[in-house]
Chain A
Amino acid sequence: MSTRIVEVRAKILKQNDLLAHALRERFQTSGVSVVGLVSSPGSGKTAFLEKLLSGLARDFRVAALVGDLATENDAARLKRATPNVRQITTGTICHLDAQMIEKALEGWQLDALDFLFIENVGNLVCPSSYDLGEELRFVMLSATEGEDKPLKYPTIFNSSDVAIITKMDIAEAADFDVTTARRNIESVRPGMQIFEVSAKTGSGMLDVFQLLHDQHAHSRETRPALQIEATQ
C-alpha cells in the first residue's frame, strides 16, 4: 500500500507553551513575581521556601503553590508562614504543567500578591520540559547529594535561571566540595547566579532576599500598562 507524507510542523507541547505564555502575561500585568523551584526529592525545597515565605512576609504579600505526588504535608508546613498556600497533588504525574497552575490559581486575586512561589514535584528530569509561566526558575542542589548532579542533569540546570546550593550547614560532614559544585554548574549553565544557603541556620538567605527584592522592583518598573488605561 502506498503512503503519502503530510507536513505537520507542530511543537508537541504547544498547548502547555501557549497556556504558560498566557499565565506569564497575567502575572506581569498583575505585578506578581513568580518563582519556580525544582530539585530532587528531599533536597530542601520546602524548607527553603518556609524561610523565604516567612522572611518576605514582613514586607510583601506572598503565596505558594506546592506540587507533590501525594499528601498535603508540604502545604501544612508552608501555612505556618502564610495562609496563601495551595497544594497540587499530582497523583502519578511527575511534574507540574501550566494547566495545573491555572487551575490551582482559581479564585486567587493575583494583583493582591507580590510574590508567588511554585514548588515543583521533586524530580530533575520531567519538569524541564514544562514552562509554568514563571519569571525565574531556581534549581536546588543540596550538599548531601554530590557535586556532580549538574553534570548528570544538564537539561534542568541549563533551563533554570538561578542555582541554590542548600544544606550548607552540613557540607563539611558530607564531604561536599562547593568549588567543584560551582564549577559543574558553571559548565552546564555558563554565567548562572549561584547562592549557598542553609535553610536550617538561615545562612546565605539575605543574598537571596536581595535578589528577590531587586527582581520584584524591576518587574514592577517594566510592568505592562493595565488594559483599563489603554482603553480609556
Chain B
Amino acid sequence: MHELSIVLSIIDEIGDESEARDLHDVEVVHLKVGVFSGVDRNALLFAWELACEGTPLERSHLDIETVPLVIYCANCHQNLTPPSLYQLCCPECETPSQTIISGRELEVVSLEVAA
C-alpha cells in the first residue's frame, strides 16, 4: 500500500500552498484520482485519517473525484471509455488503443478553507 506515501505528498503540497497564500483551517481537500492512477480510493481515505490525526488537518476531509479511463479510437476518431480497465480497446469497434486521454490523474484540485 503506497497510499500513505501519496497522502504525505498531498500534505506537503497543502503545507506549501498554505504558507504561500496564508491559508488556515483547511476543511475540504478536493482531489482528482484517475481509475488508472494505481491509487485506491478507500485506501487513500483511510491513510488520510491516519496521517492527519493530531495535526492541523485533523478536521479536514478528502473529496475525491474519480476520473474514468478514456482512450482515443483511431478508427472512430473519438474519445471513449473502454469496456473495462483490462480491455484497452474501443467499446464500439474493438480497435485496440494505447492512446490514453484520461484516467491517470492524481491531482490536488482545490482546497476549501475558512473564509
- Shortest beta-carbon distance from A199 to chain B in Å: 27
CB of B75 closer than 8 Å to a CB of A: no
Given A158-B36, A188-B86, CB of A12 within 8 Å of CB of B108: yes
Q: A190–B98 contact, CB under 8 A? A: yes
Binds B, one of A45-53, A63-71, A124-132, A168-176: A124-132
Per-position contact with A for B1-33: 1 when CB-CB < 8 Å, else 0? 110011001101100010001010001100100
> For residue A85, which residues in chain B have a CB less than 8 angstroms away from its CB?
none
Which residues of B lie under 8 Å from residue A8 when comparing CB positions? Answer: 13, 17, 108-111
What residues make up the interface of B, taking CB atoms closer than 8 Å to A? Answer: 1-2, 5-6, 9-10, 12-13, 17, 21, 23, 27-28, 31, 36-39, 85-89, 96-98, 100, 106-115
**Please, could you name 25 A-B residue pairs with CB atoms under 8 Å apart, sorted by A?**
A2-B114, A2-B115, A3-B27, A5-B110, A5-B111, A6-B110, A6-B112, A6-B113, A8-B109, A9-B107, A9-B108, A9-B110, A13-B6, A94-B1, A95-B5, A130-B2, A151-B86, A154-B36, A155-B36, A156-B38, A158-B88, A158-B100, A187-B89, A187-B96, A189-B88
